[in-house]
């Protein structure tokens, strides 16, 4: 177990009132982001995307295409950033590593790999740890693990904590993102508690969802997790990153996630180092918005590559 | 002068009723109640503003407990008052007669007073159900409005009706959980003091009802102006009185209720809206969620 | 772990560009007359006053100054309508007129929102999302009551009072007009309404709506002016009922003026509500509730949660979070869609608020204001909290009516309750705790007309609103709001 991991006093985890959270989340959506601040936000969003493919039908060819898109979002528009990372299954890490290495951009685009029997997490711990180590050995910079939701819902918080801590150790230098799968936790109180457990166990990021369960990321859920990150920061001095994933498919919504981020954690988190969007179709909608800003004309999806 | 064979009757001393006790007025003053033959019937306490002040302190002290008591208990206590009054019917009839009322009318009045108490005893746990509401707000909140007692109510009882006028106004005040300071009828003050004795024997907690006797022209201003009184109820709608009461009541935005021109013995003079006149509506919101 | 993380920083980096609401669809006349008997008429004495945009100090329009002679005309018009068309009409038809007003307001909602923000200084987000929709909803709610009044008063026959004189404040101009006019009309009364002198415009636009809805002339009359105009309404012998919303001082004067006249009245007056945060509350939502309680509408809210009572064990945490949250509040142009706190309504009100800021500091409380910039012109006050405030301080006892919060701590529930109730006001109160039993105990024992438990500053047409003690007499809204406009016959 990493030295920094310390089981939290769960009795001190703040309670959450759902209606109040929903009201606050709705307020962020009343922010009107226009003109240059919209363009800035759209660029930032692109740079925060973990461009994702997590399908049973994934092949090396699909992953290579994804890596191309990660670098060449839409070359017709100059000055665009590349995405933060590509996110793939462990068996595809090697392909991604090889493809990205060919670009000669160093490790500017990270490789994130899901692990720990994603998406269900229903595997023996030794297999989860082994899967993690293999993904890291194959070149993953970041590991997106899933927590054991069944154990969590049973109240086996020690089990969940130990597992996260063990995976963190198995990660070595790789960053650990801990997926809570908030759609299976049921209440915001549990989401807050799971966030606290994950951060105390050593998570570098906390992440809402696998994308395989509905509901995936929502503004209220993400707000609760951001508030947990803020409290953890004030208590420990350690910054933890946030990754909403699943369901964020349009630019306007993503901008409101940024608004929420800015007004909850402030400027320090407004970088790909501390905030990611887990998404596959978001990038194109952002690109369409940027093109619209540049030309003043509403766009068609036919002009943007679907990878 | 009594003959050697007859017994000398023992006259009753009429005192005032504050905080469950029967003191004389702190002022030591009195006024004589005389009958039609100018014979002194009793010396009545001429209460002072300090008596009133003491009574308000008692009423305020009693408010917390009385307002928190269950509706069922308040109903039982009002019913108990009626029982006690029923047992003393003859005394009250005689006393009204002594104050100049015809016997027939006195009997009717006492019966009406008893029945009025039964009427309001029955309302104790029902007016809330009639007057409260659940409000279907558009947001995700549960929202309901209930009645709560206004607080300390000063009551200047009708002058023309010694007993049923008092009971008809007092009962809706206290059944609703308020406490009160009463100024008895000036021309017929005896029944009010005897009624205090009935209250005293009926499990009414000390301070819930306080009854003073005295001159209206001295005390009306006090009843209307005291800053720790939340509502003032009076029954004389002559312009000068109304103006004085309402003007002074404005000092602390008292609720002002005037009830005049009623035949208090008539059953039409009772209804639950009289309870609601010394009630506040409180609305509570709470989110519905998890 | 002994770390001292630096404060979160909210003000550098990405900023929101100005997002002004467009005003090109809004028309404001240069000069407005009085709306009497279904038409705009010139004031008898020919006097006008300026309505100022408090965010720019620029003149928006000239507004007629109504004097006694004008009030007399308005009351006569209202009386004529009361004795004529309005009383002869079937109740269901009366209701349909009120429904019409609701519908037209919904259609013209954005225009009303913009004018409300221009004239009063409140953020467009609030006028757009709260004031105007709620005003329309009020008309819609009470319209439906018009032909159902007998169900509101068991065993009684409700009868209209006659002509209602209605005097409203500047903090929610159109909404307060709706609160007053809708139930009065539903119950069969006619009205003479006076908006506050700094915010007459939406009431005058409402007069246009009333005209467009074809209400019989004289059912609604809108007269404009300041305190003297209001006094002329209060004193007019032809008025049967006064409904007033405003300060407790003026309410007291009105109650006195009405003494002995036999006129009925309802009063919605001041407040100094306690917002009570227990240690077991959902703290982050409680902080939102504090913000919404005191910074909503620049704190120009009679039921504002202007006293924060926070349990000692969480006081530091709550205050720290509150300060962070205050940093994210945007003060400025009321027409900017991102503005959270708009302009203070008038120079006079700003002076009052600023005098309390001095008082608070002199009393020894510690003042904290957010670091946001405010525009150079116009009337502005940054969100402000005073920590270390005491029950004996004036900033704790007196209504400031601005974005200024007095923070106190308590240890036990009893102490919290005692402090909450230690005020002559009793309009509202807030309770934040996760424990249901405690909510009910607190809700029962706070002597105030509206209790928000785990929420604050919520309003709805169906929900009665009004104060205990010096916060007023009577209720507005909901079933109980009907009582203010009827006599009950056997």
Tens digits of residue pLDDT in B238-261: 999 999 999 999 999 999 999 999
The distance from CA B118 to its chain's CA centroid, rounded to whole angstroms, is 15
Give the minimum alpha-carbon distance from A173 to chain C in angstroms, rounded to a whole number: 23
Phi, psi of B156 (to 5 degrees): -95, 100
Find which of B67, B145, B241 to mutate to test the C interface (most C CBs within 10 Å of its CB).
B145
pLDDT digits (tens, 9 = 90+) for C92-103: 999 999 999 999
- B134 and chain C: CB distance < 8 Å anywhere? no
Residues 153-212 of B with CB under 8 A from C: none
Chain B environment of C465 (Cβ under 8 Å): 283
Count CA atoms closer than 13 A to A262's CA, side-chain side. Answer: 23
Phi, psi of B163 (to 5 degrees): -115, -60
Whether residues A14 and C284 touch (CB distance < 8 A) is answered with yes
Whether residues A233 and C18 touch (CB distance < 8 A) is answered with no
Whether the upstream peptide bond of residue A111 has omega within 30° of 0, thus cis, is no
- C458 and chain A: CB distance < 8 Å anywhere? no
Q: Are strands C366-369 and C384-387 parallel, antiparallel or unpaired?
A: antiparallel
Chain B environment of A20 (Cβ under 8 Å): 287
For every residue of A178-234, DSSP letters joined together read EE--HHHH-SHHHHHHHHHHHHHTT-SEEE---SSSSS---HHHHHHHHHHHHHHHH
Residue A51's SS3 state is strand
Mean pLDDT of A231-245: 97
**What gap in Å lies between CA B151 and CA A143, rounded to an integer?**
65
Give the minimum alpha-carbon distance from C138 to chain B in angstroms, rounded to a whole number: 12
Find which of C20, C277, C282 to mutate to test the A interface (most A CBs within 10 Å of its CB).
C282
Q: What percent of chain B has pLDDT over 90?
A: 93
Res A112 pLDDT > 50: yes
Give, as one character, the DSSP assignment of residue A275. B
Chain C environment of A14 (Cβ under 8 Å): 282-284
Angle between helices C91-107 and C173-186 (to 10 degrees): 160
Residue C435 confidence (pLDDT): 97
Q: How confident is the model at residue C87 (pLDDT cuts 50, 70, 90)?
A: very high
Residue A280 confidence (pLDDT): 86
Residue A103 confidence (pLDDT): 93
Res A3 pLDDT > 70: no
Q: How far is CA A4 from CA A142, A143, A168, C169, in A?
A: 19, 18, 11, 58
Nearest to C453 among B247, B281, B284 (CB): B284
Q: For chain A, percent helix, then strand, then coil, each to nearest 5? A: 50, 10, 40
Give the minimum alpha-carbon distance from C462 to chain B in angstroms, rounded to a whole number: 6
Chain A environment of B290 (Cβ under 8 Å): 18, 187-189
Q: Which residue of C has its CA nearest to B253?
A: C470
Contact A254, A45 (CB under 8 A): yes
The distance from CA A245 to its chain's CA centroid, rounded to whole angstroms, is 5
Give the minimum alpha-carbon distance from C446 to chain B in angstroms, rounded to a whole number: 10
Chain C environment of A17 (Cβ under 8 Å): 282, 285, 454
pLDDT digits (tens, 9 = 90+) for B3-25: 567 899 898 999 999 999 999 99
A243: alpha, beta or left, given left = phi > 0 and alpha = psi -120 to 50?
beta
- C24 and chain A: CB distance < 8 Å anywhere? no
Whether residues C13 and A263 touch (CB distance < 8 A) is answered with no
**What gap in Å lies between CA A269 and CA C8, rounded to an integer?**
10
Chain C environment of B251 (Cβ under 8 Å): 252
Point out the least confidently predicted range of B56-70, C7-21, C279-293: C7-21
Give the minimum alpha-carbon distance from A218 to chain B in angstroms, rounded to a whole number: 16
Strand partners, C310: C277, C409
Strand partners, A205: A177, A241
Find which of B228, B280, B289 to mutate to test the C interface (most C CBs within 10 Å of its CB).
B280
Whether residues B287 and A19 touch (CB distance < 8 A) is answered with yes
Q: Are strands A49-52 and A85-88 parallel, antiparallel or unpaired?
A: parallel
Q: What's the CA dihedral at A136, A5, C282, A186 to 10 degrees?
A: 40
Residue A277 confidence (pLDDT): 98
**What gap in Å lies between CA C422 and CA A18, rounded to an integer?**
32
Mean pLDDT of C264-276: 98
Contact A88, A61 (CB under 8 A): no
Count CA atoms closer than 13 A to C287's CA, side-chain side. Answer: 23
| Torsion sign across C-alpha atoms A265, A268, A274, A278 | positive
Cβ neighbourhood burial of B112 (10 Å; 0-12, 13-18, 19+)? buried
Contact B252, C251 (CB under 8 A): no
Q: How confident is the model at residue C345 (pLDDT cuts 50, 70, 90)?
A: very high
Q: How confident is the model at residue C6 (pLDDT cuts 50, 70, 90)?
A: confident
Cβ neighbourhood burial of C398 (10 Å; 0-12, 13-18, 19+)? middle
Give the minimum alpha-carbon distance from C395 to chain A in angstroms, rounded to a whole number: 28
Residue C34's SS3 state is strand
Whether residues C451 and B284 touch (CB distance < 8 A) is answered with yes
Whether residues B290 and A22 touch (CB distance < 8 A) is answered with no
**What gap in Å lies between CA C233 and CA C409, rounded to an integer?**
44
- B136 and chain C: CB distance < 8 Å anywhere? yes
Mean pLDDT of A130-136: 98
Whether residues C463 and B285 touch (CB distance < 8 A) is answered with yes
pLDDT digits (tens, 9 = 90+) for A268-299: 999 999 999 999 899 999 999 999 999 999 99
pLDDT digits (tens, 9 = 90+) for A162-198: 999 999 999 999 999 999 999 999 999 999 999 999 9
Whether residues B230 and C469 touch (CB distance < 8 A) is answered with yes
Cβ neighbourhood burial of B136 (10 Å; 0-12, 13-18, 19+)? exposed
Q: How confident is the model at residue C2 (pLDDT cuts 50, 70, 90)?
A: very low
Residues 138-157 of B with CB under 8 A from A: 140-141
Res C440 pLDDT > 90: yes
Residue B4 confidence (pLDDT): 66
First vs last C-alpha separation in chain C: 74
- B288 and chain A: CB distance < 8 Å anywhere? yes
The 3-class secondary structure across C192-250, one letter per residue, is EEECCCCCCHHHHHHHHHHHHCCCCCCCEEECCCCHHHHHHHHHCCCCCEEEEECCHHH
Chain A environment of C281 (Cβ under 8 Å): 15
Q: Write down the mean pLDDT value for chain B.
A: 96
Residue A1 confidence (pLDDT): 60
Res B2 pLDDT > 90: no
Residues of C labelled as active-site residues: 268, 302
Mean pLDDT of C264-277: 98
**All chains having 3 or more CB pairs closer than 8 angstroms to chain A:** B, C
**What gap in Å lies between CA A295 and CA A274, rounded to an integer?**
32
Q: Which residue of C has its CA nearest to A22?
A: C285
Mean pLDDT of B50-59: 98
Residues 250-289 of B with CB under 8 A from C: 250-253, 255, 268, 271, 273, 280-287
Contact A59, A65 (CB under 8 A): no
Res C4 pLDDT > 70: no
Res C1 pLDDT > 50: no
Whether residues A268 and C14 touch (CB distance < 8 A) is answered with no
ipTM value, please give it. Answer: 0.96
Phi, psi of B133 (to 5 degrees): -150, 155
Chain B environment of A187 (Cβ under 8 Å): 290
Residue C41 confidence (pLDDT): 98
Whether residues A237 and C5 touch (CB distance < 8 A) is answered with yes
Q: Which residue of B has its CA nearest to C262?
A: B242
First vs last C-alpha separation in chain B: 84
The distance from CA C316 to its chain's CA centroid, rounded to whole angstroms, is 32
Whether residues C453 and B252 touch (CB distance < 8 A) is answered with no
Res B189 pLDDT > 90: yes
Chain A environment of B287 (Cβ under 8 Å): 17-20
Residues of A labelled as active-site residues: 144, 207, 243
**What gap in Å lies between CA C157 and CA C150, rounded to an integer?**
6
Q: Taking CB atoms and an 8 Å cut-off, how many pairs form between chains A and B?
A: 16
Residue A49's SS3 state is strand
Q: How confident is the model at residue B95 (pLDDT cuts 50, 70, 90)?
A: very high
Residue B9 confidence (pLDDT): 87
Provide the b/e sequence for C211-245 (b: ≥16 CB within 10 Å).
eebebbbbbbbbbbbeeebbbbbbbbeebbbbbbb
């Amino acid at each position: 177990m990493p030295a920094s991991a310390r089981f939290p006093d769960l009795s001190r985890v703040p309670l959450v009132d759902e209606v109040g959270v929903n009201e606050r989340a709705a307020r962020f959506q009343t922010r009107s982001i226009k003109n240059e601040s919209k363009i800035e936000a759209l660029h930032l969003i692109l740079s925060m995307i973990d461009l994702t493919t997590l399908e049973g039908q994934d092949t090396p060819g699909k992953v290579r295409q994804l890596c191309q898109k990660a670098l060449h979002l839409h070359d017709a528009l100059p000055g665009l950033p590349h995405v933060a990372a590509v996110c793939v299954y462990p068996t595809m890490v090697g392909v991604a590593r090889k493809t990205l290495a060919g670009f000669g951009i160093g490790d500017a685009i990270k490789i994130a790999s899901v692990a720990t029997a994603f998406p269900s997490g229903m595997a023996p711990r030794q297999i989860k740890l082994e899967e993690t180590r293999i993904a890291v050995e194959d070149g993953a910079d970041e590991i997106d693990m899933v927590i054991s939701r069944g154990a969590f819902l049973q109240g086996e918080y020690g089990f969940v904590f130990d597992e996260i801590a063990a995976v963190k150790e198995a990660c070595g230098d790789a960053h650990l993102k801990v997926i809570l799968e908030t759609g299976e936790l049921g209440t915001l109180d549990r989401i807050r508690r799971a966030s606290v457990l994950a951060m105390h166990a050593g998570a570098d990021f906390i992440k809402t969802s696998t994308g395989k369960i509905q509901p995936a990321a929502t503004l209220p859920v993400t707000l609760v997790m951001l508030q947990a990150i803020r409290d953890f920061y004030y208590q420990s001095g350690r910054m933890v990153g946030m990754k909403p994933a699943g369901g964020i498919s349009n630019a306007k919504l993503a901008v409101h996630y940024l608004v929420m981020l800015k007004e909850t954690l402030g400027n320090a988190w407004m970088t790909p180092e501390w905030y990611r969007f887990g998404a596959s179709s978001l990038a194109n909608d952002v690109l369409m918005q940027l093109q619209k800003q540049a030309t003043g004309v509403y766009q068609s999806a036919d002009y943007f590559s679907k990878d | 002068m009594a003959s050697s064979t007859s017994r000398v009757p023992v006259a009753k001393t009429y005192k005032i009723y504050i905080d469950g006790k029967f003191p004389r007025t702190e002022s030591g003053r009195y006024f004589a109640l005389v009958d039609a033959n100018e014979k002194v019937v009793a010396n009545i306490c001429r209460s002072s503003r300090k008596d009133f002040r003491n009574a308000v302190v008692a009423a305020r002290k009693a408010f917390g407990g009385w307002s928190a008591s269950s509706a069922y208990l308040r109903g039982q206590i009002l019913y108990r008052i009626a029982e006690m009054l029923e047992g003393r019917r003859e005394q009250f009839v005689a006393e009204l007669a002594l104050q100049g009322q015809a016997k027939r009318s006195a009997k009717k009045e006492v019966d009406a007073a008893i029945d009025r108490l039964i009427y309001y005893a029955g309302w104790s746990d029902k007016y809330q159900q009639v007057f409260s509401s659940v409000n279907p707000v558009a947001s995700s909140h549960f929202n309901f409005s209930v009645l709560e007692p206004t607080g300390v109510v000063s009551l200047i009882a009708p002058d023309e009706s010694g007993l049923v006028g008092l009971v008809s106004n007092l009962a809706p005040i206290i059944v609703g959980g308020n406490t009160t300071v009463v100024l008895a009828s000036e021309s017929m003050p005896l029944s009010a003091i005897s009624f205090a004795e009935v209250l005293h024997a009926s499990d009414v907690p000390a301070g819930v009802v306080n009854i003073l006797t005295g001159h209206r022209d001295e005390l009306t201003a006090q009843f209307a102006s005291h800053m720790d009184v939340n509502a003032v109820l009076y029954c004389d709608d002559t312009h000068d009185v109304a103006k004085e009461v309402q003007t002074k009541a404005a000092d602390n935005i008292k609720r002002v209720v005037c009830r005049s021109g009623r035949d208090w013995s008539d059953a039409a003079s009772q209804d639950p809206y009289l309870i609601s006149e010394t009630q506040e509506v409180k609305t509570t919101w709470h989110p519905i969620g998890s | 772990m002994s770390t001292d993380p630096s404060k979160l920083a909210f003000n550098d980096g990405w900023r929101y560009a100005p997002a002004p609401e467009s005003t090109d669809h809004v028309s404001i006349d240069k000069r407005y007359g009085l709306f009497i008997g279904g038409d705009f008429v010139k004031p008898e004495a020919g006097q006008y006053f300026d309505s100022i945009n408090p965010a720019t100090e620029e003149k928006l329009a000239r507004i007629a100054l109504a004097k006694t002679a004008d009030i007399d005309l308005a009351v006569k018009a209202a009386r004529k309508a009361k004795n004529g068309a309005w009383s002869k009409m079937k109740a269901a038809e009366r209701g349909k007129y009120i429904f019409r007003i609701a519908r037209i307001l919904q259609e013209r909602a954005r225009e009303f929102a913009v004018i409300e923000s221009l004239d009063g200084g409140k953020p467009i987000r609030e006028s757009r999302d709260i004031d105007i929709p709620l005003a329309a909803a009020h008309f819609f709610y009470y319209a439906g009551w018009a032909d159902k009044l007998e169900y509101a008063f068991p065993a009684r026959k409700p009868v209209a009072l006659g002509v209602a004189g209605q005097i409203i404040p500047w903090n929610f101009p159109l909404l307060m007009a709706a609160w007053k006019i809708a139930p009065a009309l539903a119950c069969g009364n006619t009205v003479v309404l006076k908006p506050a002198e700094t915010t007459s415009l939406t009431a005058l636009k409402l007069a246009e709506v009333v005209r467009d809805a074809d209400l019989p002339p004289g059912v609604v009359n809108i007269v404009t002016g300041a305190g003297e105009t209001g006094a002329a309404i209060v004193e007019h012998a032809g008025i049967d009922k006064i409904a007033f919303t405003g300060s407790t001082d003026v309410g007291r004067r009105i109650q006195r003026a009405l003494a002995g006249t036999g006129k009925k009245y309802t009063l919605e007056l001041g407040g100094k509500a306690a917002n009570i945060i227990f240690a077991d509350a959902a703290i982050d939502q409680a902080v939102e509730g504090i913000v919404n309680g005191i910074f909503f509408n620049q704190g120009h809210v009679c039921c504002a949660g202007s006293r924060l009572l926070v349990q000692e064990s969480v006081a530091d945490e709550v205050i720290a979070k509150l300060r962070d949250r205050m940093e994210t509040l945007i003060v400025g142009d009321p027409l900017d869609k991102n503005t959270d706190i708009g302009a203070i309504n008038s120079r006079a009100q700003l002076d009052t608020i600023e005098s309390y800021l001095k008082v608070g500091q002199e009393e020894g409380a510690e003042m904290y204001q957010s670091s946001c910039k405010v525009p150079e012109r116009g009337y502005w006050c940054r969100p402000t909290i005073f920590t270390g405030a005491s029950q004996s301080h004036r900033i704790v006892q007196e209504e400031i009516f601005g974005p200024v919060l007095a923070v106190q701590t308590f240890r036990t529930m009893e102490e919290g309750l005692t402090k909450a109730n230690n005020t002559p006001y009793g309009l509202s109160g807030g309770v934040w705790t996760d424990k249901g039993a405690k909510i009910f105990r607190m809700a029962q024992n706070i002597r105030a007309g509206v209790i928000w438990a785990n929420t604050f500053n919520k309003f709805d047409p169906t929900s009665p609103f009004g104060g205990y003690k010096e916060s007023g007499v009577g209720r507005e809204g909901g079933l109980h709001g009907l009582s203010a406009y009827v006599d009950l016959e056997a």
